[in-house]
Amino acid sequence: MAPPPLYAAAVESSQLLGLLLWYPVLLFSLTFHEAAHAWAARRGGDSTAYLGGQVSLDPRPHIRREPFGTVFAPLLSFAWGGFMIGWASTPYDPRWAMAHPRRAAWMALAGPAANALLLLAVAVAIRAGVGAGVFEGSEGYGAIVSSVQGGFWDTLARLLSIAFLLNLLLLVFNLIPLPPLDGSGAVALVLPEAWALRLRQVFQNPSFAFGGILVAWLAIREIFPPVLRGAVQLLYAF
């Protein structure tokens, strides 16, 4: 049985608002993540991404490089389940990475660090809103904070909740130490340089990348919920 016209219109309006909130947050978070990779690579001596225009918060160079991960996958995942997933990538010279494994490790760590910075900024905004009396803590999985006053503040609370959730997810997922995720490259910072070089050689095998993504995708389902609960508890701890 079809829903009443007014109910259907409200659902469509809510879905449209969700899309208008989710996609810009995801696209900016991915762009900031990849721009940080590109900036760190250039600082370390590799200008590959810089020459490709990726040391920038302009999303267009990142979309051109990964159109499916930055446009189609987010829209399809939202239409399918109301939650957006996506990805992007930063080019680098593998010869530079082999010659400078520690610099390549800092490049790898720069992406998650960018998401951590965004997460911190969102947390500060949420706490400021709670302190001002316009927000209150929320127990919902997707609603980290809710509005007290409604209207504009309700939309802003939803936007901040999405930004908190997505950047925490990008941070945790990318730190899993499996190829091709950033955590596998950052491991070199705690290894002797010879070991780091050998590990990078091993991880260049495409089969490791496929297996790593599969295991990480399964692992994040177990890892993320308790991390999210802990992050929300920390957000409102004081």
- Enumerate the β-bridge partners of residue 137: 145
Q: Judge if pTM exceeds 0.95.
A: no
Q: Which of 4-8, 61-65, 101-105, 185-189 has the lowest mean pLDDT?
A: 4-8
Q: DSSP for 135-203?
A: EEE--SSS-SEEESS-THHHHHHHHHHHHHHHHHHHHHHHTSSSTTSHHHHHGGGGS-HHHHHHHHHHH
List Cα–Cα distances, 31 to 35, 63, 94, 220, in angstroms.
Answer: 6, 9, 22, 22
Mean pLDDT of the 93-116 span: 94
pLDDT at 140 over 80: no
Q: By residue range, what is the domain housing residue 97?
A: 5-235
Both structure tokens of 220: 């994040």
pLDDT digits (tens, 9 = 90+) for 37-90: 999 999 999 999 999 999 999 999 999 999 999 999 999 999 998 889 999 999
Instruction: Quickly tell me which residue has 């706490």 as its tokens.
Output: 127
Q: Which of 52-61, 98-107, 119-128, 202-211 has the lowest mean pLDDT?
A: 202-211
Q: How far apart are CA 152 and CA 157, in angstroms?
A: 9
pLDDT digits (tens, 9 = 90+) for 169-200: 999 999 999 989 999 888 888 877 777 777 77
Both structure tokens of 19: 């899309």
Tally the domains of the chain: 1
